[in-house]
């Protein structure tokens, strides 16, 4: 009896292995032609490195080649990765490209992360959902790489490392200007006359610029977490730090008794005192790294802009004051997972390629000191003048942003803007300015702190408006400002 049991168990196991193998062979053998692009299963080995977690079996992958220097189409090229989550419906409106934030992020797996509510499902039913990695952002190749050198501390060495590992012939051509041109190249290779986009954070800049430069080829464009394309990099950073302080003040008010931060003290001082007290404990994480002010602030900064994370952050600080590190370790793990699909090197380099400030050394230091002064809560150590000189100070090329450019006219497609009322990364005034520029509707998440929300099932009010607009870009909402309360 026992031998028979093991015999049949082994046969069943062999059958399951064979079935899985046959299914895998069938899966990777599938190919769909669209324009000049051949979509293949993302389970092919050549695509495995694109993903942190296994993608949906329906997800398709492909690559597109674009010239590094658009003025020299026969020169070096970037290989741009693409993904497609095809609709299961036979009749669809077309392609919908999701564009991630950063710069430095990709959207290859964003389609799989969309919500399952009725609004998100309506979009997945009516569109093929596309994702991509912009030029210079891994896993595009060549990718921006500055070795293991840290920008903080020695920005000149960081600049030298970026040139050494990426190439002086690549770095000048990773700006948003070239990325927008790439987007239209992708559209053409897909064989689309028009397509639709949803841009998140930095991705809103690409949607807005695409709408201006290629108005007849954009059917609909959502800009969620809006970048003001008329702002210089130093102005963006100034406003971000100003609104970071506003968000921090909200975080401190959220702390309920018994609060780890001394309510009798001024909030900034109470926070810094707690931070220093924890650092003096000499705690270490599981990797043996010191849990000091810099390490804690790195974790804190990752989640400060998300109101739903505030309670967890309060618990983390409370535990650390007691010498416990469980919540800190978990938050660090989440940050590490996020880093796998985001390039900090690309964030720094693309920002400089777009809009590196051209200032004298003294003016540069004065400008960035003023930026730093906007958020005193994070000034846990004194910085030298040299430490205010970042990568952009040493940037050797001219930024490509044209902040005075305004090509909006009657042929510009209708856009839809989305913003939290309190957003430190892309403050509400950005969205108000851009909505006025395009004369299009703006959705405001009233009284809420956060950054980007559309089509992930977290706010039905926003998703309802966004879904209606994407299905019919000429939808008249009756007013220009649409308010959405907390769910």
User: Are residues 257 and 309 both part of a single domain?
Assistant: yes
User: Are residues 109 and 192 both part of a single domain?
Assistant: yes
pLDDT single digits (tens) 414-458: 999 999 999 999 999 999 999 999 999 999 999 999 999 999 999
pTM of the model: 0.93
User: Are residues 195 and 309 both part of a single domain?
Assistant: no
User: Are residues 474 and 441 both part of a single domain?
Assistant: yes
| CATH code of the domain containing 193 | 3.40.50.1820
Q: How confident is the model at residue 283 (pLDDT cuts 50, 70, 90)?
A: very high
User: Are residues 312 and 242 both part of a single domain?
Assistant: yes
The single-letter DSSP state of residue 81 is: E
How buried is 178 (Cβ within 10 angstroms: 0-12 exposed, 13-18 middle, 19+ buried)?
buried
**C-alpha separations of 104 from 100, 249, 279 in Å:** 8, 28, 31
Q: How confident is the model at residue 153 (pLDDT cuts 50, 70, 90)?
A: confident
3-state secondary structure (DSSP) of residue 200:
strand
**Contact residues for 350 (Cβ-Cβ < 8 A; gap 6+):** 102, 103, 104, 136, 144, 174, 175, 176
Q: What is the mean pLDDT of the chain?
A: 93
Q: How confident is the model at residue 183 (pLDDT cuts 50, 70, 90)?
A: very high
pLDDT computed for residue 9 by the predictor: 65
Starting at the edge strand found earlier in the chain, the sheet holding 195-200 runs 31-34, 37-41, 60-67, 77-85, 127-132, 94-99, 195-200, 218-224, 415-422, 442-449, 481-484
191 inside domain: yes
Q: How confident is the model at residue 405 (pLDDT cuts 50, 70, 90)?
A: very high
34 inside domain: no
Domain final residue pick, 402, 428, 449: 402
With beta carbons less than 8 A apart as the criterion, state whether 399 and 356 touch.
Answer: yes
**Tokens 């168990």, located at residue:** 9
90 inside domain: yes
User: Are residues 291 and 383 both part of a single domain?
Assistant: yes
Alpha carbons 257 and 263: distance in angstroms, whole number: 9
Residue 142 has pLDDT above 90, yes or no: yes
Residue 101: Cβ within 10 Å count? 23
User: Are residues 306 and 328 both part of a single domain?
Assistant: yes
pLDDT computed for residue 158 by the predictor: 97
pLDDT single digits (tens) 95-121: 999 999 999 999 999 998 898 899 999
Number of folded domains in the chain? 3
3-state secondary structure (DSSP) of residue 433:
helix
Query: Whole domain around residue 22: which residue ranges?
Result: 1-29
**Contact residues for 48 (Cβ-Cβ < 8 A; gap 6+):** none
110 inside domain: yes
CA angle (246 as vertex; 389, 435 as ends), nearest 5 = 90
With beta carbons less than 8 A apart as the criterion, state whether 428 and 420 touch.
Answer: yes
35 inside domain: no
pLDDT single digits (tens) 190-243: 999 999 999 999 999 999 999 999 999 999 999 999 999 999 999 999 999 999
195 inside domain: yes
pLDDT single digits (tens) 262-277: 999 999 999 999 999 9
Tokens found for residue 289? 């790294």
CA angle (313 as vertex; 226, 336 as ends), nearest 5 = 70
User: Are residues 4 and 126 both part of a single domain?
Assistant: no
Tokens found for residue 287? 């990797």
How buried is 231 (Cβ within 10 angstroms: 0-12 exposed, 13-18 middle, 19+ buried)?
middle
3-state secondary structure (DSSP) of residue 318:
helix
pLDDT computed for residue 187 by the predictor: 98
Alpha carbons 368 and 323: distance in angstroms, whole number: 35
Q: How confident is the model at residue 341 (pLDDT cuts 50, 70, 90)?
A: confident
Domain final residue pick, 402, 420, 438: 402
pLDDT computed for residue 450 by the predictor: 97
User: Are residues 225 and 260 both part of a single domain?
Assistant: no
**Contact residues for 341 (Cβ-Cβ < 8 A; gap 6+):** 52, 105, 106, 108, 109
With beta carbons less than 8 A apart as the criterion, state whether 120 and 467 touch.
Answer: yes
User: Are residues 71 and 178 both part of a single domain?
Assistant: yes
**Contact residues for 120 (Cβ-Cβ < 8 A; gap 6+):** 114, 455, 456, 457, 463, 467
Instruction: At 149, give phi and psi (nearest 5°).
Output: -75, 135
pLDDT single digits (tens) 297-322: 999 999 999 999 999 999 999 999 99
11 inside domain: yes
Of all residues in the chain, what percent carry a pLDDT higher than 90? 88
User: Are residues 386 and 416 both part of a single domain?
Assistant: no
pLDDT computed for residue 338 by the predictor: 78
How buried is 478 (Cβ within 10 angstroms: 0-12 exposed, 13-18 middle, 19+ buried)?
exposed
Find, among 192, 174, 223, 197, the residue nearest to 462 by Cα.
Answer: 223
């Amino acid at each position: 009896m026992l031998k028979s049991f093991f015999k049949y168990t082994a046969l069943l196991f062999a059958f399951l292995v064979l079935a899985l193998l046959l299914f895998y062979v069938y899966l990777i053998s599938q190919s769909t032609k669209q324009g000049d692009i051949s979509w293949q299963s993302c389970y092919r080995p050549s695509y495995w490195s694109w993903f942190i977690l296994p993608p949906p079996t329906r997800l398709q992958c492909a690559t597109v080649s674009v010239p590094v220097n658009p003025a020299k189409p026969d020169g070096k090229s970037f290989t741009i990765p693409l993904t497609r989550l095809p609709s299961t419906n036979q009749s669809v409106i077309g392609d919908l490209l999701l564009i991630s934030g950063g710069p430095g992020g990709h959207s290859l797996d964003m389609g799989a992360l969309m919500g399952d509510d009725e609004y998100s499902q309506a979009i997945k039913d009516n569109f093929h959902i596309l994702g991509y990695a912009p030029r210079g952002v891994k896993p595009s190749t060549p990718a921006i790489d500055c070795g293991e050198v840290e920008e903080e501390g020695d920005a000149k060495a960081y600049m030298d490392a970026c040139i050494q590992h990426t190439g002086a012939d690549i770095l000048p051509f990773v700006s948003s200007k070239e990325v927008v041109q790439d987007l239209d190249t992708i559209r053409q290779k897909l064989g689309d006359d028009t397509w639709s986009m949803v841009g998140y954070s930095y991705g809103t800049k690409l949607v807005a610029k695409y709408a201006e430069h290629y108005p007849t080829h954009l059917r609909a464009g959502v800009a969620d977490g809006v970048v003001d394309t008329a702002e210089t990099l130093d102005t963006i950073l100034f406003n971000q730090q100003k609104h970071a302080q506003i968000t921090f003040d909200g975080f401190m008010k959220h702390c309920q008794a018994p609060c780890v931060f001394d309510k009798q003290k001024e909030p900034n001082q109470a926070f810094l005192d707690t931070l220093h007290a924890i650092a003096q404990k000499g705690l270490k994480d599981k990797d043996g790294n010191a849990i000091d002010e810099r390490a804690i602030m790195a974790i804190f900064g990752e989640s400060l802009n998300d109101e739903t994370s505030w309670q967890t952050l309060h618990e983390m600080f409370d535990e650390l004051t007691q010498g416990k590190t469980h919540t800190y370790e978990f938050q660090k793990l989440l940050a590490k997972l996020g880093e796998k699909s985001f390039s900090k090197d690309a964030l720094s380099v693309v920002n400089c390629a777009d809009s590196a400030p051209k200032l004298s050394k003294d003016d540069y230091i004065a400008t960035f000191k003023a930026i730093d002064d906007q958020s005193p809560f994070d000034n846990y150590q004194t910085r030298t003048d040299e430490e205010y000189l970042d990568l952009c100070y040493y940037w050797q090329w001219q930024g490509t942003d044209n902040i005075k450019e305004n090509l909006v006219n009657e042929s510009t497609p209708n856009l839809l803007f989305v913003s939290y009322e309190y957003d430190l990364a892309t403050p509400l005034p950005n969205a108000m300015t851009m909505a006025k520029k395009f004369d299009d509707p703006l959705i405001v998440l009233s009284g809420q702190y956060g950054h980007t929300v559309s089509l992930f099932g977290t706010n039905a009010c926003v998703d309802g408006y966004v879904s209606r607009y994407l299905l019919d870009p000429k939808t008249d909402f009756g007013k220009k400002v649409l308010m959405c309360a907390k769910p």
